[in-house]
Structure formats: structure tokens, C-alpha cells
Homo-oligomer: A and B are copies of this chain.
Amino acid sequence: MRSISPAPRPQAAALASGAAPLVVPDPCAHCDARSVSVCSALEDKDLHRLATLAEVMEVAPGETFIEEGETPEHFFNVTGGTVRLYKLLPDGRRQITGFARPGHFLGLAVGEANAFSAEALETVRVCRFSRSRLRAVLDDFPAFERRLLRSAANELVAAQEQMLLLGRKTARERVASFLLAQARPLRACDPPPGRFHLPMTRTDIADYLGLTIETVSRTMTRLRTEKLIALPSPAEVVVLDRGRLEALAGGFEEERI
């Protein structure tokens, strides 16, 4: 992880693997992710206050920047790329609890220790805040705290939906739900794209859906055979029949063939 703003701090350099700091002037004002992130709670005039606390960091693919069980010292706001969040069992079984995309605020699901690890899937850009210093901002801007509570509420809704998926849906229903979720745009108001790119491997998808890689693969090819989706390449998905895919994801009875 390399710090690229606002000034190279020693501790940031220490954490970074190949730290090569670059200064980004006024990062918050030019942030692509701002409109979809908790930072939208602040007005332009207050944004510089946030910018002084934020360090823009770049995380290389495969690099872990939050470690399950460790003491949390920072909050992160994802501004670019995709992050996998996961928990491990002692024998290596892995459950991915979510994929964080731009706008996702990381660091809420935390007590004394981090509840999960976070690892960059692609090159990821995050905005890092010291927990103690962000505390001060929260005290000054109640709107920000309220936005954070809303963000936590959304995550809770998503977590419960995922519990339903993991506990009660079939493999087909899980994959359909997953594909539709991946097809969702960052802003709810934007139309869902018919074609999109999967930044994660089949192994990631399997560990997210509580399945094996083989079952995910077989299920995808079956959805392709049935013309619900097309797969121009393993990572490219085209939704051909959104209606049936949604019915499947929602757990409606499948029509007999």
C-alpha cells in the first residue's frame, strides 16, 4: 500500500510495501467516489476539513490492508477498485462476507478487533482516516455521523439478505442473486448494465456464496445453456433474460421443463 496524499507520513510509509508517496492536491474535492460515499454528507465548505485527515492510498492487487483479529486503527473509504472482505476458519475455510466497491466505508464492523480481513482484488484506491481523528470530525459534523449510521443500516440489510442466501437458497438461486447484485450500478438511480465485468475469480465467488468453485462453474454454464446469461469470456457476463434471472434469485418456483 503506498500513500499518495497529502504528505508522506512515516507510519504510512511503514505500513506500505513499496511506499512511493505522491501528493494529490485537494483529494476530497476531486474524488470520483464522493457522490456515492459517506463524504457526501459534508458540504463543499467543510470538505477541506476532511481532506486534512484523509490519506489517499493505493493498494496493490492481492495486498491485505485490514487483518481480521487485529486492533483497528483506521477507517477506510474505498474510492476505486474492488476489495474482498473475508473471515477464515483455522483450517483455511474462507467465507467472503462482501465485496467493497467505490463508496463503501470500511471499519464499522469492529469491536475490539477487526471482524474481517480486507484484500485488494484489483488495484484499489482507498481514503484512510485515523479512527481517533475521525472521531473529532464526527463530533463537529453530526450529519456525517448520521450518514455513517445510514451506511451501517444498509450494510445490515445486505448482511441479512446474504444470510437468507447462504441459509436457504439453492446453488442456482445463489448464483442468480450474485450476478444480479454484480450488475447493480454504483448509484441506485443509474440503469443496471446488461453487460459487466467480474473482477473476482470463481474461487472468490464460491467463497462468497458458500459453494465450491466447481459448483459455481457448473451453475454458470447451465445458466448459459438455458440462455439466461451469456459468457463472452469467463469474467464477462451478459444478462440475457433479466426477468427469469430475477425470479430465480428471488426464490420463485421454477417452471417445470
Task: Tell me the chain A residues, 76-97 only, with Cβ under 8 Å from chain B.
Answer: 87, 89-91, 93-95, 97
Complex-state Cα separation, A94 to B90, whole angstroms = 30
Asked if B162 and A163 make an inter-chain contact with CB atoms under 8 angstroms apart, the answer reads yes
Asked if B90 and A164 make an inter-chain contact with CB atoms under 8 angstroms apart, the answer reads no
Question: What is the count of identical protomers in the complex?
Answer: 2
9-residue interface stretch from A46-54, A147-155, A228-236: A147-155
User: Total interface residues on A, using CB and 8 Å?
Assistant: 45
Asked if B90 and A250 make an inter-chain contact with CB atoms under 8 angstroms apart, the answer reads yes
Asked if A110 and B157 make an inter-chain contact with CB atoms under 8 angstroms apart, the answer reads yes
Does A167 make an interface contact (CB < 8 A)? yes
Does A132 make an interface contact (CB < 8 A)? no
* A224 → B minimal CB distance (Å): 24
9-residue interface stretch from A122-130, A138-146, A194-202: A138-146
Does A1 make an interface contact (CB < 8 A)? no
With contacts A156-B152, A156-B159 known, is A168 near B109, CB below 8 A? no
With contacts A149-B145, A152-B108, A156-B156 known, is A95 near B252, CB below 8 A? no
Complex-state Cα separation, A198 to B25, whole angstroms = 58
Does A225 make an interface contact (CB < 8 A)? no
Query: Can you name the residue of chain B whose Cβ is closest to the Cβ of A173?
Result: B89
Add 4 more A-B contacts to A109-B159, A152-B153 (CB < 8 A): A89-B164, A89-B251, A166-B210, A167-B208
